[in-house]
Structure 1
Amino acid sequence: MEQQKGILLESGTNELEVIAFGVGAGTFGINVMKVREIIQAPPVTPMPNSHPHIEGIIRLRDEVITVVNLSTVLGLGQSQNPSQDKMIISELNQIKVAFRVQNVSRIHRISWEQIEKPAELSQGLENATTGIVKMDDQMILLLDFEKIVVEINPEKGMNVEQVKALGKRTRSDKKIVVAEDSAMLRKLLHDTLAEAGYDQITFFEHGRGAWEYLQFLKDEDQDVLKEVQLVITDVEMPQMDGHHLTKQIKGDETLKNIPVVIFSSLITRDLYHKGKGVGADGQVSKPEIIKLIEMIDQLIL
């Protein structure tokens, strides 16, 4: 079936829609915004010497798309009836990928406040998921699809070497707040932005933490604009997503003049309007760190 867009017409509601699917005995989820369509699994052409998680390629209309087998990624049992499998055609980090799953059940509309980070004792679960949705009758694990793609193809990530190509840069005294739920990406952002001269950064693992920090500065009667010159936010985060955080900042008389840049794998052509709708000053698609640095330069120098 083709995944229809536009279900959530209003931006900044702190809600998302999750498509639940099965792999092995587990129930997992993917944000509707990442899904282009869902199809019955077609025959796959194997690719020699490819990454173990890559099953091969398929031709979908006029496009050749790489197939990633989630059973292999997650270390779960392979499908007993591959002809009944589904493929979720996803677009993230500016590429399309087909993820093989064993079944697709339904769409759940939930609040980001319902999503919890995996506990440290989840036996490595935190390395594969971005959050856990507790439903009445089940738990849905939200997979970290961006990390899956980067581990297969590191070139789709970002690194300090990219920034070094910009040449020597001066240190900046500008203070930046970053909301990013991935520990791996927080480390990468710390290293790459520091290399670019921006080393006065305060990190939060979700939008709520960043919002509470800004509110704390206000409550302490501090000049917030002297303490924070820019906010960078991901979109998908537990507790409060980036669109809602941006909407909150731009709706606050004291904070609205702080530039907000959305840095997300979800900055596709179809979804760019959502960031505009909540007042974002800029939007950059992961992993384009050079574009992010150029936008920071424009907004705060």
Structure 2
Amino acid sequence: MQNQQGILLESGTNELEIVEFSIGNNRFGINVIKVKEILNPLPVTEIPHPHQALEGIIEIRGDVVPVVDVAHALGFETSTHPEQDKFILAEFNQTKIVFHVHTVTQIHRISWESIEKPGKMYQGLETQITGVIKKDEDLLLLLDFEKLVADINPKTSVHSEQIQELGKRERSNKKILIAEDSGLLRGLLKETLNEAGYVHTTCFEDGKAAYDHLIQLADVGKEALEEYQLIITDIEMPRMDGHHFTKLVKEHENLKEMPVVIFSSLITQDLKHKGEKVGADAQISKPEIVNLIQTIDSHIN
């Protein structure tokens, strides 16, 4: 946002700030790091044969940006007071996009530890939610914006076919640990690594589960940690985010030599310093899967 006061400047604190917005009576949140600006609705230019949730495009200071109707994407009713609607200009996966929501209320600073994993009780929304926050005797849901955008434009996600440009790959016996909260991306990442020859992968849904597993191995002895040669972690994850996970790994005597690659939609020139500060060995922006494979090659082959 243009006036982002009090935004977290520290790295590895396991905290985040979220912008709360609403769709009807439902409360949602988006990581403030993704938000560039909050706008009043602007005239939208329709485009031929769009996805049903894509309203069209608008121009913002020289950039042509797609507009996504979040209510439509989630299967909710349209706004009853469109004059009060808001546009959230966001940037992630190195792409700018506008999310059309009904209201924007406030910013909350919270710990990832207080964010619960979504359960099946959310009536079909669980695949579109990355976390649940109990707030003011109500629930605030963190949307999986990467999946929402990928549903509209599949090219923005990871694809195993991209590995073909690397040519013939040999099967590797090296083992990789993955921390990724999105079930969709866990599956795609595992499939893509397998296509690239890295067939021995173990996945965890968040940084805490991954770190607890590593600590169990470390308690057995340093030799047990040789089960893995590299860690891939997302940043945004319930219970423990990727920056805090990386920080803990790099501070642990028996873990610190293990390469950690942060693979996230939040990797930008402005935010790379956060990963550098916690000791990440490399940082790759989603969905640059070829770059990720080449980085893995350079660290463990």
TM over 0.5: yes
Matched residue type, 1:254: N
Q: Distance in 2 between matches of 1:122 and 1:261?
A: 32
Q: Which amino acid aligns with 1:207?
A: G
Q: Distance in 2 between matches of 1:119 and 1:226?
A: 34
User: What's the secondary structure of 2:185's corresponding residue?
Assistant: helix
Structure 1 residues 278 and 224: alpha-carbon distance in aligned structure 2, compared to 1, 3 A threshold? farther
2:182 and 2:5 map into 1 onto residues whose CA distance is: 26
2-side partners of 1:156 and 1:9: how far apart?
28
2:143 is aligned with 1:139: no
Matching of residue 39 in structure 1 with residue 39 in structure 2:
yes
Superposed counterparts of 1:1-301, under 5 Å: 2-4=2-4, 7-301=7-301
Distance 1:152 1:30 in 2: 18
Q: Count the aligned residue pairs.
A: 301
CA deviation after TM superposition for structure 1 residue 5, in Å: 6.7
- Deviations for 1:49-77, whole angstroms, at most 9, x for unmatched residues? 11111001111111111100111111111
Would you say the 8 A contact 2:67–2:100 is kept in 1? yes
TM-score by structure 2 length? 0.97
3-state secondary structure, aligned to 2:202: strand
Q: 1:224: Cα distance to partner? A: 4.3
Distance 1:138 1:58 in 2: 34
Structure 1 residues not aligned, in runs of 5+: none
Q: Distance in 2 between matches of 1:244 and 1:6?
A: 20
Percent of matched pairs sharing the same residue? 55
Whether the 8 Å contact between 1:20 and 1:104 is mirrored in structure 2 is yes
Asked whether the equivalents of residues 222 and 254 of structure 2 are also in contact (C-alpha less than 8 Å), the reply is no
1:269 & 1:298 partners in 2: Cα distance?
Answer: 22
Q: Which residue identity lines up with residue 169 of structure 1 in the other structure?
A: R
5+ residue gaps, structure 2, are none
Change (3 A) 1:274 1:224: farther
Shift of 1:85: 1.1
Are 2:214 and 2:225, in contact at CA under 8 Å, matched by a contact in 1?
no
Shift of 1:136: 3.0
Cα distance in 1 for partners of 2:6, 2:224 equals 36
Distance in 1, Cα, partners of 2:6 & 2:249: 24
1:276: Cα distance to partner? 0.6
**Separation of aligned partners in 2, 1:177 and 1:3:** 38
What is the deviation of 1:227?
1.5
1:3: Cα distance to partner?
4.6
* Displacement of 1:254: 1.2
CA separation of 1:66 and 1:148: change in aligned 2, threshold 3 A:
same
